[in-house]
Structures are given as structure tokens and as C-alpha cells.
Amino acid sequence: MDLESVKRYLEKGGGEEEDEKKQGSTIDGLPLRYFERFIMQGLQVDLIEPGRVVCSMKVPSRLLNGGNFLHGGATATLVDLVGSAVIFTTGAPLTGVSVEINVSYLDAAYLDEEIEIEAKTLRVGKAVGVISVEIRKKKTGKIIAQGRHTKYLAMTSKM
């Protein structure tokens, strides 16, 4: 996958603004595969090169938890999504499934705070890829979360 396509995937979440307008207003009426858009809406790609992607995002109200900071599940999903995208920048095939994701939560990110998400490949082999993802406060560089994502890449044969 070329870098421009990875960038577009991250910034569009695989869908179009138009689709969204047509959606119904209840949770049950949400369109197919809405989840990625729901998380990534507002994400910007600041840097993209083989093996490394840096994105930024303003923490939106929809992703807050009961304590009014970025939800741990949303954080884990960003580790998943940006971690998957960085694999594609190395020319790995578009297929692949998650084997393991882990996240340490280090600080809170509040409403409208600018966060930076950096994903780096630690290893991209024929079968297994491992990515490190760090989420930081853009202003201070303070780490909000650090995680790793292991993917199985060789999907021609069964995992």
C-alpha cells in the first residue's frame, strides 16, 4: 500500500462524509463498520514514512469516559488502528490480523487537548509484525499511553 493511501485511510477512516449524513440517529441504525470512523474522525497525519507514522487529534467529547478524559478503550483502538496503518507503510500486504495488543495508561488526556500518536514498526517479518505505539500530549510531550501491537501478516496460509 502506498503512503498516500495509508494517509487517506487514516484521515477518512475508510468512509466519506456523505455516508455519515445519511445515517439514522439511533445506535441500532448505524451503518456497517461504523466503528473505525467513529474513533478516527478528526485524526490528521502529520508524518508518514516507511515504518513510522505520526498523527494528531484533538480529544473529542464523544470519546471521553466517565472521568471526562480519553476512554481507555478508545486509546487501545488508536493503538490498534495507527499500529495497523504503519505496517502498510512498509509495503506489507493489506491483509493481516491482530494477535496481541497491550497498552499501559500513564496520564489522562482531557477534552480538546491535542494528542500525538506515533507508531513505529519494531519488526516486519514474512509472518509476524510488531509495532510500538506511543500517545503523547502535543504541547508537553508527556506520555499518555504506550502500547505494542502484534500482527500475523501471512494470511495466504491459515494462522
Could you tell me the smallest distance in angstroms from the CB atom of residue 67 to a second copy? 7
Q: In this structure, are residues 96 and 106 in contact, taking their beta carbons and an 8 Å threshold?
A: no
CB of 82 to a second copy, least distance (A): 11
Grid cell 514498526 in the structure block, residue: 121
- DSSP string of 41-92, one letter each residue: TT-EEEEEETTEEEEEEE--GGGB-TTSBB-HHHHHHHHHHHHHHHHHTTT-
* Residues 38-57, interacting with a second copy (CB under 8 A): 38-39, 41
Question: Which span (47-55, 65-73, 85-93) binds a second copy, by CB under 8 A?
Answer: 65-73
Q: What are phi and psi of 65, to 5 degrees?
A: -100, -175
Interaction with a second copy in 10-39: which residues (CB under 8 A)?
14, 20-21, 23-28, 30-39
105 contributes a contact to a second copy by CB under 8 A: yes
Angle (CA) 96-100-43 rounded to 5° is 70
Q: Which stretch binds a second copy (CB under 8 A): 50-58, 85-93, 144-152?
A: 144-152
CA distance 113 to 146: 18
Shortest Cβ 153–a second copy spacing (Å): 10
> How many angstroms separate the CA atoms of 151 and 100, rounded?
7
5 near a second copy (CB under 8 A): no
- Interface positions with a second copy (CB under 8 A): 14, 20-21, 23-28, 30-39, 41, 60-68, 71-74, 76-78, 80-81, 97-108, 122-123, 125-128, 130, 132, 143, 146, 148, 150, 152, 154, 157-159
